[in-house]
Structure 1
Amino acid sequence: MSILNRINVFRRRLMRILTKNIGKSSSKGNIVLVDKNAISRVLICRPNGRLGNLLLISPLVQEVSEIFPNSKIDLFVKGTLAPIIFENYDHIHKVIPLPKKPFENLIEYCKVWISIKNEPYDVAINVDQNSSSGRLAVKFSKAKYKFYGDLEDQFLPVKNDYDHIAKYPVYNFRNYLTKWGLHKSNKIIAPLDLKLDSNEIAEGKKILKTLTNNAKRTICLFTYATGEKCFSKVWWNDFYSKLKSEYKDYNIIEILPIENVSQIDFQAPTFYSKDIREMGALIANTDLFIGADSGIMHLASSVQTPTIGLFSVSSLKKYEPYDNCSIGIDVKKFPANDYFKVINSLLNNGRLKLYSKAV
């Protein structure tokens, strides 16, 4: 690890220690909400710029939009992806991005914090309770109702899927709303959703037709991932060889990462794009997505394509794709010969519950 990375790790740890108690005192006691329909401005804070982490807040955005039907939602994030991801969300008013490198853009960095302070928010929500910047943004806002992302002691996580990073913010916020006298929802939490429109899906279909030039069903691979999450070329080539042999009547294509590399050495027809909505539209027209834990895995899940997430490092309970006949597999525990039972099940539109429990 470089000196700069070590400094960043130390900085993040220090900030978490300094900010972990922000909002604790203000969370005590009940708040009476006059009319939830009167909530017009909401701030959701997730100062992170990664594709996967931004897609993973879409269930919370959907939840807030439903609870406060007359609201406009601002997103406090990092980077440039959020406006693209949420462009078809009617309730999104604007995106407030923090610069990726604040010390190189100090003026812009300060402007962001000032803008949060000046906006007349009714509700401010921090998505990740461990986010120092998220907690500070909620504290800094003038919102009457402030949720810092914590699960209070009297609310124990009783849901077996509570650990999932897309779900526990929703569960925690639902618990917080009971302090307003609102009934706690027991609805199934919404899936990730890119909200592709019909034109985008039609364009994705055209791209797929160009790649395959036939009407066969299609399996989509994404063979890349960052760091230790990336499986070796040996692993992928072995898997791809077996996949081709088992599914001769299917197209197999590969989505390429921004690095334009392939762990199967470009053996399958490939698609490269820097447009995540275009990538999503292509994946939406395929029958199954298979890839390691990555932002593109969550992208596949967000376009309602059955998704198999391959895990070796990350927490399965925290990051696995869910809903739409999707499943996460721990490759260290799961018999390689049984992969195709799972694939067959998903291609036949049924999640294999036996293996869901096993992994």
Structure 2
Amino acid sequence: MIMNNALNTPAAGQQTRILVIKLRHHGDMLLTTPVINALHQAWPEAQIDVLLYEETRDMLSANPFIHHIYGIDRKWRKLGTRQHLCKEWQLLKALRQQNYSLVVNLADQWRSAIVTRFTGAPARIGFDFNKRRGWFWNQCHTQLASVADHQKLHTVEQNLSVLSPLAISPVNDVTMSYRPEDWQKVQEKLQSKNVDAAFIVVQPTSRWFFKCWDESKMAATLTALQQDGHTLILTSGPDKNEKAMIDKIRALCPSERIHSLAGELSLRQLAALIDHAKLFIGVDSVPMHMAAALQTPCIALFGPSKLTFWSPWQVRGEVIWAGSYGPLPDPDQINTSTSERYLNAIPVDDVVAAARRQLL
């Protein structure tokens, strides 16, 4: 097979180099790690690089199988046309100079196809997306993987299907990596709050509030766990609206054994915190996927997202879906700025019971 030959017979004196391209959000980046793991398993000595959006770097920056990360900074647009094009050209040249043997393009943007072609790699795999069928997309890739079954597959399985032309064994594990210094920083924050015992991490927020549960229901759940004697650590992103939600929830709870690190942690530090928790409770968000990847016991509250695509992969715990309690709108028809809380159909008692089962 051309692909395998390209990897198994690199030019004299050169190390085998592979580039993986994915230009999406934080959670999407985490769910690409099975592809990286599979490539590493097939070619342990290969140098695997990744091209991503700069703001998602933390999701992969501690991954031990990644040699180098190249970032596209969306702030380049603010530099003016000349400087923006200069940055793009510098990136293209840097990638071409790597002499990649294989490029795996998981993205669907035209930009990703152009980068794939410009690398000059002898093997360039992408997806045969319906919306991209045509001469140019074909020319940018040497082989295209079918997307015929994607509507029935989880995002992890969709990503792994890009490797079908390579005929290598898939690796299903999602990997969230952090460094020792990340946990050290978290420990310092916990010590400053006199937290020295086991704790539960709770992430009630998402950047899309329609994915969130009502603050009073979350507070009632946390109060029950406080009364059971558990210590709770609340987390959120740095957005002021997310932090305001955390403040509202805390105000509805007893003051004992509840602490906030909302907006204070990097993504890697958050991963370290979740990894050391005895339970994670959260809504459909990046931390939920982190908890599943880290195999921390997890209660995931899920609303009108596509369960087939986005349920926590290989979760150790329970997914509580609002659709089990009442009708939900079509995920493709939702106005993401709506104030509707679709998770509110989920009863507090069911979440408390699920948490207690995981804490046994």
TM-score class, shorter-chain normalisation, is 0.7 to 0.9
TM-score with structure 2 setting the length: 0.73
Q: How much has 1:299 moved relative to structure 2?
A: 3.1
Q: Aligned partners of 2:3 and 2:218: how far apart in 1?
A: 57
CA contact (8 A) 2:200 2:277 kept: yes
Q: Which residue of 2 aligns with 1:176?
A: 165
Q: Which residue of 1 aligns with 2:53?
A: 78
Q: Which residue of 1 aligns with 2:32?
A: 57
Q: Which residue of 1 aligns with 2:124?
A: 146
* Aligned amino acid, residue 100 of structure 1: R
* Aligned amino acid, residue 173 of structure 2: A
CA contact (8 A) 1:220 1:286 kept: yes
Aligned pairs, how many? 303
Q: Which residue of 2 aligns with 1:164?
A: 154
* Aligned amino acid, residue 30 of structure 2: L
Q: Which residue of 2 aligns with 1:120?
A: 99
TM-score with structure 1 setting the length: 0.73
Q: 2:234 aligns with which of 254, 267, 270?
A: 254
- Once the two structures are superposed, residues 247-270 of structure 1 have per-residue CA deviations (whole angstroms, 9 ceiling, x without a partner) of 522112201321141425151410
- Once the two structures are superposed, residues 10-52 of structure 1 have per-residue CA deviations (whole angstroms, 9 ceiling, x without a partner) of xxxxxxxxxxxxxxxxxxxx5363485556100111123x322
Q: Aligned partners of 2:120 and 2:35: how far apart in 1?
A: 21
Q: 2:356 aligns with which of 333, 344, 347?
A: 344
Q: Which residue of 2 aligns with 1:23?
A: none
CA contact (8 A) 1:47 1:78 kept: yes
Q: Which residue of 2 aligns with 1:297?
A: 288
Does the C-alpha gap of structure 1 residues 326 and 162 become closer, same or farther in structure 2, counting only changes over 3 Å?
A: farther
CA contact (8 A) 2:211 2:304 kept: no
Higher helix proportion: 2
- Once the two structures are superposed, residues 119-172 of structure 1 have per-residue CA deviations (whole angstroms, 9 ceiling, x without a partner) of 3000000113x33322332222211111103496889649xx962223321133
Q: Aligned partners of 2:267 and 2:204: how far apart in 1?
A: 17
Q: 2:278 aligns with which of 284, 287, 290?
A: 287
Q: Which residue of 2 aligns with 1:219?
A: 200
1:269 aligns with 2:269: no
Extract unaligned runs of 5+ from structure 2: 11-15, 79-83, 130-143, 251-257, 326-345
CA contact (8 A) 1:119 1:142 kept: no
* Aligned amino acid, residue 166 of structure 2: L
Instruction: Show the 5 A alignment for 1:311-350.
Output: 311-334=302-325, 336=347, 337-348=349-360
* Aligned amino acid, residue 258 of structure 1: P
CA contact (8 A) 2:55 2:73 kept: no
CA contact (8 A) 1:71 1:91 kept: no
Instruction: Show the 5 A alignment for 1:236-247.
Output: 236-246=215-225
Q: Aligned partners of 2:120 and 2:225: how far apart in 1?
A: 59
Extract unaligned runs of 5+ from structure 1: 1-29, 179-183, 349-359
Does the C-alpha gap of structure 1 residues 96 and 308 become closer, same or farther in structure 2, counting only changes over 3 Å?
A: same
* Aligned amino acid, residue 50 of structure 2: L
RMSD: 3.0
CA contact (8 A) 2:234 2:260 kept: yes
Q: How much has 1:58 moved relative to structure 2?
A: 1.8
Q: Secondary structure at the match of 1:213?
A: coil
Q: Aligned partners of 1:64 and 1:275: how far apart in 2?
A: 28
Q: Which residue of 2 aligns with 1:98?
A: 72
Does the C-alpha gap of structure 1 residues 241 and 47 become closer, same or farther in structure 2, counting only changes over 3 Å?
A: same
Does the C-alpha gap of structure 1 residues 42 and 327 become closer, same or farther in structure 2, counting only changes over 3 Å?
A: farther
Does the C-alpha gap of structure 1 residues 103 and 214 become closer, same or farther in structure 2, counting only changes over 3 Å?
A: closer
Q: Which residue of 2 aligns with 1:14?
A: none
4+ residue segments displaced more than 6 Å: 151-156
Q: Aligned partners of 1:304 and 1:206: how far apart in 2?
A: 24
Q: Secondary structure at the match of 2:324?
A: coil
Q: Percent identity?
A: 18
Q: Aligned partners of 2:357 and 2:231: how far apart in 1?
A: 17
Q: Which residue of 1 aligns with 2:186?
A: 204
Q: Which residue of 2 aligns with 1:352?
A: none
Q: Aligned partners of 1:162 and 1:74: how far apart in 2?
A: 29
Q: Aligned partners of 1:213 and 1:33: how far apart in 2?
A: 52
Q: Secondary structure at the match of 1:169?
A: helix
* Aligned amino acid, residue 186 of structure 2: G
Q: Secondary structure at the match of 1:321?
A: coil
* Aligned amino acid, residue 233 of structure 2: I
